[in-house]
Structure 1
Amino acid sequence: MTDDRLVDLVPELPKVLLHDHLDGGLRPQTVLELADAVGHRLPVEDADSLADWFQQAADSGSLVRYLETFDHTIAVMQTPEALARVAKEAVLDLAADGVVYAEQRWAPEQHLTKGLSLPETVEAVQAGIDEGIALAAADGRTIRVGQIVTAMRHADRWSEIAELAVSYRGAGVVGFDIAGAEDGFPPDRHAGIWRFLADHDFPVTIHAGEAAGVASIAQAVHVGQADRIGHGVRIVEDIAFGTDADGSPLATLGSLAHWVRDHQIPLEVCPVSNLQTSATTAKSVREHPITRLKELDFAVTLNTDNRLMSRTSMSHEMRLLVTEAGWSIDDLADVTIAAAWGAFMHHDERRDLVEHVIVPGYQKIEGAQL
């Protein structure tokens, strides 16, 4: 199959998205309307210019400026109505892009300035998710979506947010995460919460290997007992790349890289975002470590991170890997299946997703060898 043909078929492929921030995926027009309703001043006044502004800030090469973009999205997500609308639209946008399973992560503690309680924020987001799923179904698209409740590393409310996440198990919340300033705020800062989550058999993913290196990943998997690693691309710092006597590529894994691969801990890789935040030294998707990590049999999954800031989608990420990194339809199927098996749901549900949704969806496409 030619690259052009595969690029055209990408929208038809079933997709699984594990790492997508709710406050990083708003529609530009929605940001404008919500900002107008609460009197929040934005840097520009029309949707197209706003989309450009978010992307330019994210492309600046500065992680600080990248994170500042969230000041605007979070500011307009402080009421039940706004949270529900953003969640509903996120579900609809993902379903329209062919996503059949998604996990939306967000930090409830950042949405309390208008008087909402932590439980009220979770319930508002779930109401939006439920409405989005119903509307997508009415349009002939089936999607399943769960919440990942996130604690901000620097805010030291980890225990409170972990307890919140567990309390909404079975009511929409499927996992727990810590995010924000990775360097300087390691998992052992509040070591007790990981025991609490393990005692409650509650799934965990931890941002690691993005703004900090191998030591951050080690803490995520050994202290935080993470089931998945958010980003994780800097695991390559524990891999020595070279060539053998015949000139063929050679990779020597360090002990942590072996641990992550041996345990098939899924890496939630976000190529476009990683380039923007300099999580990798790569300057293009062609050079991004995702391809080498996949070739080395790490459990690689493909994700968007922040669709608004990166002006991306799952289809866009897939197309870039096809056109720049030479990925085939089988490569795309591999990361999709890996994501399904790494999803925060039960084993039988994962198997059903793989066998009855993903594999048949890819087998419809000429040239797929599954």
Structure 2
Amino acid sequence: MTALSAEPIEAAPDVPTPDQVRRAPKVLLHDHLDGGLRPATVAELAAEIGHELPVPGAVADPDALGRWFRESADSGSLERYLETFVHTVAVMQTPEALARVARECVEDLATDGVVYAEVRYAPEQHVEQGLSLDDVVAAVQQGFDEGVGAVAAAGGRIVVRQLLTAMRHQARSMEIAELAVAWRDRGVAGFDIAGAEAGFPPTRHLDAFEYLQRESSHFTIHAGEAFGLPSIWEAIQWCGADRLGHGVRIVDDVEVGEDGSVRLGRLAAYVRDTRIPLELCPASNVQTGAAASIAEHPIGLLRDLRFRVTVNTDNRLMSDTSMSAEMLALVEAFGWGLTDLRWVTINAMKSAFLPFDERLEIIDEVIKPGYAALGC
């Protein structure tokens, strides 16, 4: 165990206004394409293909559909949370639908002040109407390119990359890993596995991770969201993950004494010492029961202890959230200031699956000047 001071970092004096948070440049590493659709888009695409939605008249009342997604996801169960994706995935089975969803994703993120994003999805879930895996990736890339172009035409700037996800309860991880490598110079930044953690350890996909390592390719692993320390340990020490998707349960290896002293277990110390990024998603973590509330979310402690903390949305539709909303919630819960938001933003950009010089350019030319303009 590693003992250290538990002196919290003082709340920053530069507490931002909601408008400042909205205008602040943001970096998003953990966002699911099929979890971020506009309710109106779900309703329109469902009507086109005859897919039955749980809210009658959703085309005329997309707000009601949005509320259904949020309320259904507010269950405290990861498994129930994942059930909401049945309806979004169902309407994302054609090139046109995939491109539209991807384009709107970019536009929505840019409107929220996001300047760099890695958006993930599972290609294997979008082949029900005969698309090949390659077709799926191409359609999503077309949408991203269109979105980036539209943002640029409006005077904005955003860089978006794909993360290709394999479902941990299926057996296509090697196929998806090979797809990620084939597309890595054409818009794909890396690989991921996702889905229910219990009973489906990341080591089931060890061949895919070993292949990615041989190909010098980046990957993150959903771990430490619902299943705790064993999944984190396997993701890092067996599979070699570059980042932890969520990783919130690393706090289970952090002991805080009554006197405020802190002792890190060996795994927590390793994660901190080696600067393994944590893709924390506060609103989603509360929904799935990984944290009791935003005020009790481990992100406050992990930030004070200087873990490589990043802030993310996970599923903007299901959590009815945005990067601005996530950041504002942390400002309110922990007294974070602009300096804290700048710190987690630079953390995220440092941790992006993007070449070093491109990361540095965004930090120096976009993030730092953006926060300087806000007085930080």
* Common fold by TM > 0.5: yes
SS of the aligned residue for 2:127 comes to coil
> Which of 275, 296, 300 is equivalent to 2:286?
275
The structural deviation recorded for 1:61 is: 2.0
Partner of 2:347: 338
For residues 103-132 of structure 1, what are the alpha-carbon distances to aligned partners after superposition, in whole Å with 9 as ceiling and x for unaligned?
010000000100000000000000000000
For residues 190-211 of structure 1, what are the alpha-carbon distances to aligned partners after superposition, in whole Å with 9 as ceiling and x for unaligned?
3222111001000010000001
CA separation in 1, counterparts of 2:24 and 2:248? Answer: 25
Say if 1:6 and 1:329, in contact at 8 Å, map to a contact too: no
For residues 108-165 of structure 1, what are the alpha-carbon distances to aligned partners after superposition, in whole Å with 9 as ceiling and x for unaligned?
0000100000000000000000000000111111000000000000011111111111
For residues 74-120 of structure 1, what are the alpha-carbon distances to aligned partners after superposition, in whole Å with 9 as ceiling and x for unaligned?
00000000000000000000000000000010000000100000000
The question of 1:185 aligning with 2:196 is answered no
Partner of 2:296: 287
SS of the aligned residue for 2:290 comes to coil
Partner of 1:348: 357
SS of the aligned residue for 1:340 comes to helix
The question of 1:298 aligning with 2:307 is answered yes
Partner of 1:114: 129
Farther-moved stretch of structure 1 (115-124 vs 317-326): 317-326
Partner of 1:363: 372
The question of 1:7 aligning with 2:2 is answered no
When the two structures are superposed, what TM-score results if normalisation uses the length of structure 2?
A: 0.94
Q: Which residue identity does 1:358 align to in structure 2? A: I
Partner of 2:254: 239
Partner of 2:155: 140
Partner of 1:40: 51
CA separation in 1, counterparts of 2:343 and 2:257? Answer: 25
Partner of 1:20: 31
CA separation in 2, counterparts of 1:252 and 1:179? Answer: 30
Q: Which residue identity does 2:186 align to in structure 1? A: A
Partner of 2:40: 29
Q: Which residue identity does 2:367 align to in structure 1? A: I
CA separation in 2, counterparts of 1:59 and 1:286? Answer: 17
List alignment gaps of at least 5 residues for structure 2: 1-12
The structural deviation recorded for 1:186 is: 1.2
Say if 2:248 and 2:290, in contact at 8 Å, map to a contact too: yes
The structural deviation recorded for 1:304 is: 0.1
The structural deviation recorded for 1:2 is: 6.5
Partner of 2:219: 204
Say if 2:14 and 2:339, in contact at 8 Å, map to a contact too: no
List alignment gaps of at least 5 residues for structure 1: none
Say if 1:28 and 1:308, in contact at 8 Å, map to a contact too: yes
The CA RMSD measured in Å over matched residues stands at 1.0
For residues 253-280 of structure 1, what are the alpha-carbon distances to aligned partners after superposition, in whole Å with 9 as ceiling and x for unaligned?
0000011000000000000000000112
CA separation in 1, counterparts of 2:44 and 2:51? Answer: 10
The question of 1:155 aligning with 2:142 is answered no
SS of the aligned residue for 1:191 comes to helix
Q: Which residue identity does 1:289 align to in structure 2? A: P
CA separation in 1, counterparts of 2:156 and 2:108? Answer: 11
Q: Which residue identity does 2:140 align to in structure 1? A: V
Say if 2:198 and 2:226, in contact at 8 Å, map to a contact too: yes
CA separation in 1, counterparts of 2:307 and 2:207? Answer: 29
The structural deviation recorded for 1:243 is: 3.6
Q: Which residue identity does 1:110 align to in structure 2? A: Q
Q: Which residue identity does 1:132 align to in structure 2? A: G
CA separation in 2, counterparts of 1:9 and 1:336? Answer: 14
SS of the aligned residue for 1:154 comes to coil
User: What percentage of residue pairs aligned between the two structures are identical?
Assistant: 59
